[in-house]
Structure 1
Amino acid sequence: MKKNAVVIVEMGLRDGLQNEKHVLDADTRVEFARRLITAGSKRLELGAFVSPKWVPQMAGTSEVVSKALALQKAGDLPKKMEFSVLVPNERGMMDAIESGVKEVAIFAACSESFSLKNINCSIDESFERFKPVMALAKKHKIKVRGYLSTCFGCPFEGKVPEARVVKLAERMNKLGVYEISIGDTIGVANVGQVESLFKKLKKVVPVKKLAAHFHDTRGQALANILEAYKVGVRVFDASLGGLGGCPYAPGAAGNVATEDVVYMFQGMGIKTGLDLQKLIDIYPWMTEKIQHTLPSKVGKVGILKPLGAVTPS
């Protein structure tokens, strides 16, 4: 990665859509992916192999993956695109292998209460579920990304101890994941927490393997991203328009908006590889598809256009 560059991992198709009341069909989701790729996205999470009974918005993920890979094979999408899917267990991993995708993501919580609410098992039990997933990944040469949720606070337990987050990050790293995304699931983090936690995490996990995943519930996401950047993090999760939220985190707002993040970094002279105007152009299309406005600031108002020459009167 270049010194003055960051990577944005697009969450809109999975974390972004999983809490939306209006469910999008596979073709619309593939079109969403195509538009994001046209805007420069290189890493997209296409969906999740979870039970449609619990997360109906993710039904049809296999179809989305199949169509996206077919477009890629036909040359209609870039060959270097990195598509991934979320898998909760061995069953989900088998579905991912069958789909042909070459990257998956696993997830664990830093709060026992949230783990039980979200995936119906304890934190230790969730790590036991990862073992067959990692074995299958190794056998089929599939990359694995790891998520840790509720790293800064839990909707059921309140503040989460930093020491627990660090311990779990170290544990996940030892599993063999190539990257660990540190998540502020309910958007409770502040700059002080971000600085403190990531400095501790860097001591047990190389900073190049750390990513940051902030929700914007309290309007702190951009400030937190900037602080994580100052500490050395260079990979950030975001969602077009600020889509998102978690079905198991009451009151949590969506992910930080991709276009807001790009606007900030672009103003700092830091490259993202994304075309800001093309991202903004997706905003009205997506609001129409999900049938409500989205919280993105830049998506709503756009960017300041240069004024033309003014003729004196």
Structure 2
Amino acid sequence: MNNHPLKLIECPRDAMQGIDEFIPTALKAEYINKLLKVGFDTIDFGSFVSPKAIPQMRDTREVLEQIDLSSTSSKLLAIIANLRGAEEAIQFDKITYLGFPFSVSETFQQRNTNSSIAESFDTVKQIQSLCVKNNKELVIYISMGFGNPYGDEWNSDIVSKWVNEISRIGVKIIALSDTIGVSNPENISYLFKNLTNEHPKIELGVHLHSTPSTRLEKIDAAWQAGCRRFDSALKGYGGCPMAKDDLTGNISTESIISYLNDHRINTELNMNNWAEAMEFSNRIFH
């Protein structure tokens, strides 16, 4: 059984990255500062990727300058897609985690990072080494972890193989990512139970995308199977602009909070500050 503590990861970066209209830097920073007061374990706040690929995140450095970590225990996570991005991100003391999307779909890996799965694994090894030397922690997202729309082969053995490979190089946090909303209670439960048994020391999480009608059954399947690390975004905004994806947003943070409250699980979140962040979000998502 998974003995890891509950960790809630709020993902404003994921929520904002697909919005075409540029969100002013000061507004992004103010929103993230409000989220930092809620008590989430981690805030996925920005990314060091090509501005051509994700124009909305081109000001991550400037946003970081305006982020105040003085009165929060939350840690910051930045997404990177290659070694150059990692080399940039490790220079900032405020950042604890670097997140790398590692796809088990060859087609999506090419679309997302312009490299094959094998090349990406070489990159992961280099980034892990960089993180160890610079006191950062690498989080690997197994993207297309529940299937893919491209016709590439997918099965649980493929996912298991890559979790094995990634854990062998010392990565301790792996999130199974449903980039396009194809997860269901059966595959969530099956993967989690098996991977948790095989890797009791790995902190396994989920980064689920969902339509509103299926989100609670997915959260429940993950929790019952031992998952204690959940990525989500306020009001369920966002999704991956690189994926074939029409209506599947992120799992909403409210759904996860509601599920945990209904099961009498203490989230230790400051709900007044949460309400304030929810209200403020209307200035960004409208």
TM-score by length of 1: 0.84
Closer, same or farther: CA 117–173 of 1 in aligned 2, 3 Å: same
What is the percentage of aligned positions where both structures have the same residue? 29
Aligned to 1:114: 108
Distance 2:247 2:179 in 1: 7
Residues 233-283 of structure 1, C-alpha deviations (whole Å, 9 max, x = no match): 111111111111111222252211111210111111001122345434433
1:145 matched residue in structure 2: 139
Where does structure 2 lack aligned partners over 5 or more consecutive residues?
A: none
Secondary structure of 2:51's counterpart equals coil
Q: Please say which structure displays the higher CA radius of gyration.
A: 1
Match of 2:39 in 1: 40
Aligned to 2:269: 274
The residue that corresponds to 2:74 in the other structure is: 81
Contact 1:242–1:258 (Cα < 8 Å) also in 2: yes
Question: Is 1:127 matched up with 2:126?
Answer: no
Give 1:81 shift.
2.4
Deviations 1:119-164 (A, max 9, x none): 1111111111122211211111111111111111212227721110
CA distance in 1, matches of 2:276, 2:199: 38
Match of 2:86 among 88, 93, 105: 93
**Matched residues in 2 for 1:112 and 1:219: separation?**
30
Q: Aligned partners of 1:162 and 1:11: how far apart in 2?
A: 26
Confirm or deny: 8 A CA contact 2:172 2:203 kept in the other structure: yes
Deviation at 1:207, TM superposition (A): 6.4
Q: Quote the Cα distance in structure 1 between the aligned partners of 2:282 and 2:57.
A: 19
Whichever residue aligns with residue 256 of structure 1, its letter is: I
SS of equivalent residue, structure 2 residue 35? helix
- Supply the distance in 2 between the matched residues of 1:22 and 1:119 (Cα, whole angstroms): 23
Counterpart residue identity of residue 166, structure 2 = M
Further displaced range: 269-278 or 122-131? 269-278
Separation in 2 of the partners of 1:193 and 1:142? 31
Q: CA deviation at 1:219?
A: 3.0
Matched residue SS, 2:17: coil
SS at match of 1:262: helix
Q: Aligned ranges for residues 242-261 of structure 1 at < 5 Å?
A: 242-250=236-244, 251-261=246-256
Q: 1:122 to 1:158 in 2, by over 3 A?
A: closer
Q: Secondary structure at the match of 1:167?
A: helix
Q: CA deviation at 1:179?
A: 0.7
**In structure 2, C-alpha distance between the alignment counterparts of 1:124 and 1:158, rounded to whole Å:** 15
Residue 18 of structure 2 contacts residue 238 of structure 2 at CA under 8 Å; is this kept in 1? yes
1:60 aligned partner, one-letter code: D
Q: Output the CA distance in 2 between the equivalents of 1:4 and 1:262.
A: 18
* CA–CA separation in structure 2 for the residues paired with 1:174 and 1:271: 33
- Flag the 1:84–1:133 CA change in 2: closer, same or farther, 3 A: same
Distance 1:130-1:4 versus aligned 2 partners, 3 A rule: closer
Contact in 1 for aligned 2:106/2:152 (Cα 8 Å): no
CA distance in 1, matches of 2:153, 2:260: 30
Q: How does 1:1-313 map to 2 (within 5 A)?
A: 6-12=6-12, 14-68=13-67, 71-72=68-69, 75=70, 77-78=71-72, 80-100=73-93, 101-157=95-151, 160-206=154-200, 209-217=203-211, 219-250=213-244, 251-276=246-271, 278-291=273-286
Cα distance change on mapping 1:176 and 1:23 into 2, 3 Å: farther
2:115 partner SS: coil
Residue identity opposite 1:109 in structure 2 = S
User: Hey, what's the Cα distance between the residues in 2 that align with 1:86 and 1:107?
Assistant: 8
Root-mean-square deviation over aligned CA pairs: 2.1
Q: 1:188 to 1:280 in 2, by over 3 A?
A: farther
Aligned length: 283
Instruction: Tell me how far apart the structure 1 counterparts of residues 280 and 185 of structure 2 sit (CA, whole Å).
Output: 33
Task: Give 1:15 deviation, angstroms.
Answer: 1.4
- TM superposition outliers: structure 1 runs of 4+ over 6 Å: none
Instruction: Name stretches of at least 5 consecutive residues in structure 1 with no aligned partner.
Output: 292-313
- Structure 1 window deviating more from structure 2 (103-112 vs 37-46): it is 37-46
Q: Secondary structure of 1:65's match? A: helix
